[in-house]
Structure 1
Amino acid sequence: MIAELARQLGFRVIALIDRDKGGAAVEAEVQAACDVVIRLPPNHAIERAMLAGIPAWKIRAASATLTEYGIPDPAAGRTDDAMLTELYKVLHKQGLHEQMLSPLHVETGGPPPMIVAALACLASVARPGYPGPRVVDVPPMAPPAAS
C-alpha cells in the first residue's frame, strides 16, 4: 500500500475514504497504514457525496449536461429517487465525476456541500501538531431534496 511506503519514508499520511464497500477489514487496513483517516458517512461512495445536500431540481439541471458525453440524461423521465440511483450508476460506470462537478457548481454557485465538509476535515487534521482522533467522520447530510 502506498500509504505504508509514505510513512516508512517519514511522511505524515492522511487518507480520505468512502464507505460504500469493503467493510471493516478494509477500513482497518487503511487506518493501520495512515496517521489519520477521514471517512465519508456510511453507504457513501463519492457519487453520493457529490450530490448530498443539493436540491434534486439542481441535480436534474446538471444531469442534463451529461448528454454532451454521448449518454442519455440519467434524470429524464425518472422520479427523484430513480434519478439519483441512475445518476450514481452513470457517474460511477462512466467515470463522469469531473464532468458532473462543473454543471453542479453552476447550478449551486459552489462546490458540493459534502465535498466542502470533507475538505474542511482534511484541512483540520493536516495542521502541524494535530492532536485529535485518528479517525474523523465527515458529518452526514440530508439526501437531495425532492423537486
Structure 2
Amino acid sequence: MGFRVLAVIDRDKDSDQTTDELAKIQAACDAVVRLPPGAIERAMADGLPLKSLADASATLTEYGIPDPMGGQPTEGAVTNLCKVIHKQGLHEQFLEALYAESNAPHPPVISMTLALLELAADPSHSGPGLIDVPTVSRPAGA
C-alpha cells in the first residue's frame, strides 16, 4: 500500500526479552526511533532547566498529590518526579504543564524525536532501521 511504518519506543534495560521485542518491532517497521536509555518520563525531562521542571511539578498538586519535586530543583527531585509521573499516569498532565506558555518549545528529546521521525518518514530515507535519539544533558547552571 506504500505506507511507511514508523515506531517510537523507549529504551528499557538490555535483556534477552528487550532484545527479542526490539527485533519484533524492527521486523514490523520501516524505521524505529528509540528514546535515550531510561524511562519515557526521564526522556520528557532531559535537557530542561531544573526550574522549568520544578514549576511543572508544582502544578501536579491539582491531581491530589504532593508536589513530586517539593520545590527542590535538584536531580534527585527530578528522579522522584519521574517516578510519580509513571506511577500516577500523569504524563499528559506533566506535558501540559510544560507547555503552559503557548509559545513554549518542545522539550529537547521530544524535538529531536520528532525531527528523526520526519527524517525516517521520507520515502527516500535509506538510513538505519533503528535510529537512537541521543541523550540530552541539562543546560549548564540550570
Q: Same fold (TM over 0.5)?
A: yes
Structure 1 residue 76 and structure 2 residue 70: aligned? yes
- Helix, strand or coil at the partner of 1:85: helix
Which one of 76, 79, 90 corresponds to residue 85 of structure 1?
79
90-99 or 115-124, larger mean C-alpha shift: 90-99
Higher helix share: 1
- Helix, strand or coil at the partner of 1:37: strand
Residues 1-147 of structure 1: pairs in structure 2 closer than 5 A: 11-21=3-13, 23-43=18-38, 45-76=39-70, 78=72, 80-106=74-100, 109-143=104-138
Could you say if the C-alpha distance between residues 58 and 79 of structure 1 is closer, same or farther in structure 2, counting changes exceeding 3 Å? Answer: closer
Residue 105 of structure 1: how far off its partner (Å): 2.1
Rounded Cα–Cα distance in structure 2 between residues aligned with 1:27 and 1:130: 20
Whether contact under 8 Å (1:57, 1:146) holds in the other structure is no
Rounded Cα–Cα distance in structure 2 between residues aligned with 1:144 and 1:69: 29
TM-score, with length taken from structure 1: 0.82
Rounded Cα–Cα distance in structure 1 between residues aligned with 2:85 and 2:12: 15
Residue 145 of structure 1: how far off its partner (Å): 5.8
User: For 1:109-145, what per-residue CA distance to the aligned partner results, in whole angstroms no more than 9, with x for missing partners?
Assistant: 2221100100100011101232211111112100476
96-105 or 115-124, larger mean C-alpha shift: 96-105
- Match for 1:70: what amino acid? G
Q: Which runs of 5+ in 1 are unaligned?
A: 1-8
Aligned length: 138
Residue 48 of structure 1: how far off its partner (Å): 0.7
Whether contact under 8 Å (2:54, 2:72) holds in the other structure is no
Whether contact under 8 Å (1:56, 1:145) holds in the other structure is no
Whether contact under 8 Å (1:101, 1:111) holds in the other structure is no
CA RMSD of aligned residues (A): 2.2
Q: Which residue number corresponds to residue 5 of structure 1?
A: none
Whether contact under 8 Å (2:58, 2:69) holds in the other structure is yes
Q: Which runs of 5+ in 2 are unaligned?
A: none
Rounded Cα–Cα distance in structure 2 between residues aligned with 1:56 and 1:23: 31
Identity level (%): 53
